[in-house]
Amino acid sequence: MRGKRNLIVLFVALLAGLIAPLATGASSAGFWVEVLLGGLMAGVLYSLVALGFVLIFKASGVFNFAQGAMVLFAALSVARMAEKMPLWAAMLLAVVIMVALAFVIERLVLRPLVNQDPVVLLMATLGVTYFLDGFGQTVWGSDIYEIELGIAKEPVMILGNLFDGGILINKDDVAATAAAALLVILLALFFQKTKTGRALRAVADDHLAAQSIGIPLNSIWVIVWSLAGVVALVAGVIWGAKLGVQFSISQVALKALPVVILGGFTSIPGAIIGGLIIGVGEKMAEVFLGPVMVKAFDLAGGGIENWFAYVLALLFLLVLPEGLFGEKHIDRV
């Protein structure tokens, strides 16, 4: 009861913060909508990376710290191979590489560590992160590489008759959002409608019960790591086309951490809604809250975008320790 009340208070406070720039006249309606849209689009991309974390955590209970490194590795593979072949061929080949990587990780890292503590598996994925970061740059190089999707970079103005000055949006942002949304729908269908998807959910619910009815755990791990690899590939191509393929995109992928904290480690809808909340929250905070804080407290200034995402996630943790949609954890004492 108290938890629900706290949650309502938190949502009301966030909503008040969201509309404060409009209510106080600090922003025009058009600009406010533009910031909101920018946040939502960034949020969809965070969701995409967070999905990779959630997939693996659901199926194996492993928090895959290497998801960001997988995004970088996949994007580097596509970008460098696309220099020698058409983009579609490079992407197909990259899928094969990511599946092969899933096999290698399952065989060399996960299988020897079966039944170990989750923290051991977390440390193992930390090792995979460093290996992939270094190996990827050794094989493919550490320059900035391009992925050209053929979408115009110039912005377009919409709703000019509704808002003064119109709303500026980018075609590549819209395309990225559409691609991410499509992937989310496909994954949801896969989990709900296919035999393999149901097996994955069964393993997620109870390893031992799933094994007892003949679901092979090792194959399931390979499948789920392959899926996470494909999600990483899509995220890497979208981020890479937007920012250029370079080491930094592995760090952008870590933005998915507050997303999964907020949304819950085991929930696909949680990853999506968490991504949107983080995306909108950080952009609104950077644009509207940052300058106010600097003036009010006479601060030295500095970007608040990065840490604000974690503050937001922590606020949710205080009220909902399992995240918005995470499974309730009950211990008998």
Partner 1 sequence: MKLAKKMKILAASVGTVATVAAVMASGPVQAQAKEQFFPSLTYRTGAYAPNGVPFGNGYVDYFKLVNARDGGIGGVKITFEECETGYATDRGVECYERLKGKGPTGATLFQPLSTGITFALTDKVFKDKIPLVTAGYGRADSVDGTVFKWNFPLGGTYWDAADILIQHIGKKEGGLDKLKGKKIALVYHDSPYGKEPIPLLQERSKMHGYELLLLPVTHPGVEQKATWLQIRQQRPDYVFLWGWGVMNSTSIKEAVASGYPREKMYGVWWSGAEPDVTPAGDGAKGYNALVFLAPAGQGQVHKDMIKYVYDKGQGSGKAEDVGEVLYNRGMVSAMMAVEGVKRAQFKYGKKPLTGEQVRWGLENLAIDAAAIKKIGFEGFMNPVGTTCVDHEGAHTGSVQAWDGKKWHITAGPYESDLQIIKPLIRASAAKYAAEKHVPVRDCAKDASS
Among 91, 183, 234, 249, binds partner 1 (CB under 8 A): 249
User: Least distance in Å: CB of 79 to partner 1?
Assistant: 11
Judged by CB under 8 A, which stretch of 112-120, 143-151, 257-265, 318-326 contacts partner 1?
A: 143-151
Element housing 50 (H / E) = helix 29-60
Among 153, 193, 328, 329, binds partner 1 (CB under 8 A): 153
Question: What is the b/e burial string over 54-72, where b = at least 16 CB atoms within 10 angstroms of the residue's CB?
Answer: bbbbbbbebbbbbbbbbbb
Nearer to partner 1, 211 or 306 (CB): 306
Q: What is the DSSP string of 146-195?
A: --------SEEEE-TTTSTT-EEEEHHHHHHHHHHHHHHHHHHHHHHHSH
User: Least distance in Å: CB of 91 to partner 1?
Assistant: 20
Among 17, 61, 197, 244, binds partner 1 (CB under 8 A): 244
Sequence-distant (6+) residues with CB within 8 A of 204 are 58, 59, 266
Scanning residues 102 to 141, which ones bind partner 1 (CB under 8 A)? 133-134, 137
Scanning residues 159 to 188, which ones bind partner 1 (CB under 8 A)? 168, 170, 173
Q: Which of 243, 265, 260, 261 is nearest to 252 (CA)?
A: 243
Measured CA to CA, the distance from residue 82 to residue 90 in angstroms comes to: 5
Measured CA to CA, the distance from residue 66 to residue 63 in angstroms comes to: 9
Judged by CB under 8 A, which stretch of 11-19, 107-115, 262-270, 299-307 contacts partner 1?
A: 299-307
Among 59, 66, 273, 287, binds partner 1 (CB under 8 A): 287
Measured CA to CA, the distance from residue 35 to residue 20 in angstroms comes to: 13
Question: Which two three-digit tokens encode residue 125?
Answer: 């994925």
User: Least distance in Å: CB of 203 to partner 1?
Assistant: 35
306 near partner 1, rule: CB under 8 A: yes
String marking each residue 52-71 x if it binds partner 1 according to CB under 8 A = --------------------
34 near partner 1, rule: CB under 8 A: yes
- Contact call for residues 72 and 249 (beta carbons, < 8 A): yes
Question: Which stretches of the chain bind partner 1, using CB under 8 A?
Answer: 27, 31, 34-35, 38, 42, 133-134, 137, 142-144, 146, 153-155, 168, 170, 173, 242-244, 246-249, 251-252, 255, 282-283, 286-287, 301-303, 305-306
